[in-house]
């Protein structure tokens, strides 16, 4: 009966993942390996960026007239924020579908999302990356890693650490069923600062991590060290988010740009 319960939990979490995220690894890989009828539009310089802004991300850029006179770096930063906000909303819905999450104290739900969403976001971003670039605008565009690196500082430092993480993470060859459980494990984490009902969350975390372990054994029978490797990735993601939060604070202080209110809430008093 216990194994049956674990399989049910794995299935519920996987279904919630497929239902709530607009992009997933399977879709992203289809696009990145050229198996779609229309390939993504490649953004590799200022000219192709402007073309993409007029078509693919017109809604994001056009939503604020204040962006018109800003430089490319600030406009790209704004688009990154829009994508992050969309993913945070998707992650919130996903979290609510994880069995037990909605029964938690509301303050604890807020805390788990505050600390978990960026780790989850960067883990899922890896699905949209290859060594040369990143899918953007729901898979209709592809921005090159070289172009992102060529932006002026500090914006040029924004994506490169995520590419470096993604290349190592992608070598683990997880599929969407593994990622669904991994993302749930990131969110239901008992050691976030300020949690009220730690034992409750620890019990949830324990069941999800057990299910992840069991699932990896059956889905990747030849890779016996995959589970400990993934646990290490949880540590790496925490570091990646700490550095990202510092960079965002630096950009906020030194650049003429604004931060979305939802992201402001998340970053405030974070680390």
State the nearest-atom distance from the C-beta of 67 to another protein, in Å. Answer: 12
Distance CA 47, CA 44 (A): 8
Which CB atom, from 214 or from 262, has the smaller least distance to another protein?
Answer: 262
State the nearest-atom distance from the C-beta of 218 to another protein, in Å. Answer: 33
Of the candidates 110, 172, 234, 270, which one interacts with another protein according to CB under 8 A? 110
Of the candidates 24, 109, 127, 130, which one interacts with another protein according to CB under 8 A? 109
Check binding of 16 to another protein (CB under 8 A): no
DSSP string for residues in 147-197: HHHHSPTTGGGTTHHHHHHHHHHHTT---HHHHHHHHHHHHS-TTSTT-S-
Q: Is the dihedral of CA 52, 148, 129, 109 positive or negative?
A: negative
Distance CA 154, CA 161 (A): 13
State the nearest-atom distance from the C-beta of 129 to another protein, in Å. Answer: 22
Distance CA 47, CA 200 (A): 53
State the nearest-atom distance from the C-beta of 81 to another protein, in Å. Answer: 8
State the nearest-atom distance from the C-beta of 107 to another protein, in Å. Answer: 5
Question: What dihedral angle (degrees, nearest 10) is formed by the CA atoms of 15, 17, 18, 19?
Answer: 80
Check binding of 86 to another protein (CB under 8 A): yes
> C-alpha angle with apex 36: 34 to 39, nearest 5 degrees?
65
State the nearest-atom distance from the C-beta of 177 to another protein, in Å. Answer: 24
Which CB atom, from 20 or from 205, has the smaller least distance to another protein?
Answer: 20
Spatial CA neighbour of 94 closest among 174, 192, 23, 13: 13
Binding pattern to another protein, positions 56-85, x when CB under 8 A? ---xx--x------------------x--x
Residue 130 has phi, psi (to 5 degrees) of -130, -175
* 58: number of Cβ within 10 Å: 12
Spatial CA neighbour of 176 closest among 1, 9, 11, 18: 18
Contact assessment for residue 145 and residue 132, using Cβ atoms and an 8 Å cutoff: yes
Which CB atom, from 64 or from 210, has the smaller least distance to another protein?
Answer: 64
Question: Candidates 101-109, 136-144, 161-169, 215-223 — which segment interacts with another protein by CB under 8 A?
Answer: 101-109
Of the candidates 55, 194, 197, 246, which one interacts with another protein according to CB under 8 A? 194
Of the candidates 25, 114, 145, 162, which one interacts with another protein according to CB under 8 A? 114
List interacting residues with another protein (CB under 8 A): 59-60, 63, 82, 85-86, 88-89, 92-93, 96, 106-107, 109-111, 113-114, 194, 260-262, 265-266, 268-269
């Amino acid at each position: 009966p216990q194994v049956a319960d674990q399989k049910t939990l794995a299935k519920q979490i996987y279904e919630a993942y497929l239902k709530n995220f607009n992009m997933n690894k399977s879709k992203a890989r289809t696009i990145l390996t050229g198996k779609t009828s229309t390939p993504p539009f490649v953004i590799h310089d200022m000219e192709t960026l402007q073309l993409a802004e007029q078509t693919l991300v017109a809604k994001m850029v056009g939503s604020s007239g204040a962006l018109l006179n800003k430089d490319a770096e600030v406009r790209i930063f704004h688009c990154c924020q829009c994508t992050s906000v969309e993913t945070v909303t998707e992650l919130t819905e996903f979290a609510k579908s994880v069995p037990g999450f909605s029964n938690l104290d509301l303050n604890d739900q807020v805390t788990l999302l505050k600390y978990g969403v960026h780790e989850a976001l960067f883990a899922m971003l890896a699905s949209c990356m290859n060594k040369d670039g990143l899918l953007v605008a729901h898979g209709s565009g592809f921005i090159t890693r070289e172009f992102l690196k060529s932006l002026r500082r500090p914006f040029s430092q924004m994506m490169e650490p995520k590419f470096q993480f993604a290349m190592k993470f992608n070598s683990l060859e997880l599929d969407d069923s593994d990622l669904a459980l991994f993302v749930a494990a990131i969110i239901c984490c008992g050691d976030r600062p300020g949690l009220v009902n730690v034992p409750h969350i620890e019990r949830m975390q324990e069941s999800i991590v057990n299910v992840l372990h069991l699932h990896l054994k059956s889905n990747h029978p030849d890779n016996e060290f995959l589970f400990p490797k993934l646990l290490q990735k949880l540590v790496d993601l925490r570091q990646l988010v700490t550095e990202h939060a510092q960079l965002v604070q630096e950009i906020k202080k030194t650049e003429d740009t604004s931060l979305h209110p939802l992201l402001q809430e998340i970053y405030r008093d974070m680390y």
